[in-house]
Amino acid sequence: MAKIKLITLKETIEKDRLEAEFFISVSRMKSNFVIGEKIIEFVQYGTSEELNEEKEGYPILRLNEFDGDFISEPVKFTKRIDKEKFENLKLKAGDVLICRTNGNPKLVGKSAIVMEDKDFAFASYLFRIRPKKEIINAETLLVFLNSKIGREEIEKHLMISNQSNFSPAKFREIKIPLIPQKNQWQIKELIMKAYKLHERSKKLYGEANFIFSKEVNPTNYKSKRVLTFNNQYSKLSQSNRFDAEYYQPKYKKTEELIEKYQEGSTLLSEVIIIRDDNINPEKNESYKYIELANVLENGEISGFIKENGGKLPSRARRQVFEGDIIISTIEGSLSSCALITKEYDKALCSTGFFVINSNSINSETLLIMFKSGLFQDLLKKGCSGTILTAINKDEFNKIRIPLVKREIQKKIAEKIKEAFRLRKEAKALLEEAKEKVEEVILN
């Protein structure tokens, strides 16, 4: 049934809002709350300076590095801030980072906590809050913001346009629950346990990556971009590529390294199955839909959109199955690779992903392979285009891959499976914390 509510012009002026949704939405917090302004000890925007992938300057955390409710290592840097500015923006334990603006409203207001002091700053489309601990600790604030009731508060105050916005000014207006200190300590303990599991999982993922690197890249070769180089016109006409990036010498060296792998190598098309058949979702059937933002840094998927086929975006056409690997085709997000686990079996993903599998190389090894620096280089080499730069299927099929030893594949798989198991345990603890917050609010 449609909701109807009569609002006076005076009310719209007082609230400085014209959207019907703002006035129709009802908060489930009827009592025992304060407005956001009352809990802020410190608030700050990040830097809007230009970022680079060449690791020049200071590391800058973005929304892409939100790792569930925690954070991972930045992949982009800026050389346009000085040391004083960097020190001012360095992340501290207890910071709660909040996404301020994004084209996807569901990502605006998404929050992550900094559990330890970090030597990196953060981007301007995030802001950080340090709460007054005597009212609410950082862990409880994080859990509330990411809970269903927290999302309702955030979405009520969103400024929706092409780029939806949830600014510190809007944070000051939302309702923050007054959770008893006893419950807050219980929530903090759950978050700390989840964080420890999260860190153990990251360690295992790093070990799997090390096993692959030691096997395929024993000399620890690291590609380096050069500013000037020469090439023959005949080579350009043979490959039908005339963009300078394609002929960067670093790509040739990476390809030679893979060709020399002791167990042999072959073209991707020989051992990888690409499933690029599109389906037409049934209008009234419900689907899980995986977006780019759901892909975490460790190759895991965090969450999904659940909608009827008729409401899904037109790009939601690829069906995935347990054991598949999805790889973003878009330059700038090529590292967004993920392993499809049981809970995402038969979900849909965007046509902006390659969906692959193999009978020769297990899924866990494929994940580590395509997220490695070597293969990120080769994916980038294959990218072309003007408005949207991406790697197409023909270029993808040309990539040469190593025929990794079975015993090495087995070791990698064991590490990744255990890492994912620990992640699942951590996620269960985070869900328990959200349930505790919601229980206190609603009772």
Same-domain pairing of 148 and 214: no
Cα(288)–Cα(299) distance, rounded to whole angstroms?
A: 18
pLDDT of residue 286: 95
pLDDT of residue 185: 97
Q: What Rg value do the Cα atoms of the chain yield, rounded? A: 24
Same-domain pairing of 241 and 120: no
Judged by DSSP in three states, 260 sits in coil
Residue with more model confidence, 20 or 424: 424
Contact, 48 vs 110, CB < 8 A? no
Write down the pTM of the prediction. Answer: 0.85
Same-domain pairing of 138 and 226: no
Hey, what are 137's tokens? 């600790």
Of 128-142, 165-179, 231-245, 378-392, the one with minimum mean pLDDT is 231-245
For residue 357, the cross-strand partners are 273
pLDDT of residue 2: 44
**Which one of 143, 178, 213 terminates a domain?**
178
User: CA of 171: how far to CAs of 37, 156, 184, in Å?
Assistant: 7, 11, 21
Phi, psi angles (nearest 5°) of residue 28: -85, -5
Cα(145)–Cα(176) distance, rounded to whole angstroms?
A: 9
Cα(164)–Cα(96) distance, rounded to whole angstroms?
A: 20
Same-domain pairing of 385 and 299: yes
Given a cut of 70, whether residue 233 has pLDDT beyond it is no
**Of 279, 290, 302, nearest to 349 (Cα)?**
290
Q: Is 383 part of a structural domain of the chain?
A: yes
Same-domain pairing of 171 and 65: yes
Same-domain pairing of 165 and 228: no
Q: Is 425 part of a structural domain of the chain?
A: no
Mean pLDDT of 270-294: 94
Same-domain pairing of 255 and 121: no
Cα(333)–Cα(351) distance, rounded to whole angstroms?
A: 14
Where residue 231 falls among pLDDT bands split at 50, 70, 90?
Answer: low
Task: Tell me how far apart the terminal alpha carbons of the chain are, to the nearest angstrom.
Answer: 27
Q: Is 64 part of a structural domain of the chain?
A: yes
Q: Residue 111 is part of a domain; what is its CATH number?
A: 3.90.220.20
Where residue 62 falls among pLDDT bands split at 50, 70, 90?
Answer: very high
Q: Is 20 part of a structural domain of the chain?
A: no
Same-domain pairing of 159 and 268: no
Same-domain pairing of 416 and 276: yes
**Of 127, 123, 128, nearest to 59 (Cα)?**
123
CB-based contacts of 217: which residues, under 8 Å, 6+ apart?
Answer: 257, 374
Q: Is 427 part of a structural domain of the chain?
A: no
Q: Is 11 part of a structural domain of the chain?
A: no
pLDDT of residue 23: 47
**Of 102, 121, 2, 108, nearest to 51 (Cα)?**
121
Q: What is the domain count for the chain?
A: 2
Mean pLDDT of 131-150: 97
Phi, psi angles (nearest 5°) of residue 266: -155, 170
Residue 29, exposed/middle/buried by CB under 10 A (0-12, 13-18, 19+)? middle
pLDDT of residue 94: 98
Helix and strand totals (H; E) in the chain: 14, 25
Q: Is 137 part of a structural domain of the chain?
A: yes
For the chain, what's the residue count? Answer: 443
Q: Is 4 part of a structural domain of the chain?
A: no
Where residue 247 falls among pLDDT bands split at 50, 70, 90?
Answer: confident
The string of pLDDT tens digits covering residues 248-276 is 888 899 999 999 999 999 999 999 999 99
Placement of tokens 């302004």 in the chain = 37
Given a cut of 90, whether residue 9 has pLDDT beyond it is no
Domain enclosing residue 88, as ranges: 28-178
The string of pLDDT tens digits covering residues 28-47 is 776 799 999 999 999 999 99
User: CA of 429: how far to CAs of 90, 97, 101, 233, in Å?
Assistant: 28, 20, 28, 59
Same-domain pairing of 229 and 115: no
pLDDT of residue 249: 83
The string of pLDDT tens digits covering residues 392-440 is 999 999 999 999 999 999 999 999 999 999 999 999 999 999 999 999 9
Given a cut of 80, whether residue 317 has pLDDT beyond it is yes
Same-domain pairing of 124 and 226: no
Same-domain pairing of 291 and 381: yes
Placement of tokens 């908060």 in the chain = 27
Phi, psi angles (nearest 5°) of residue 122: -145, 160
Kind and range of the H or E element at 203? Answer: helix 181-216
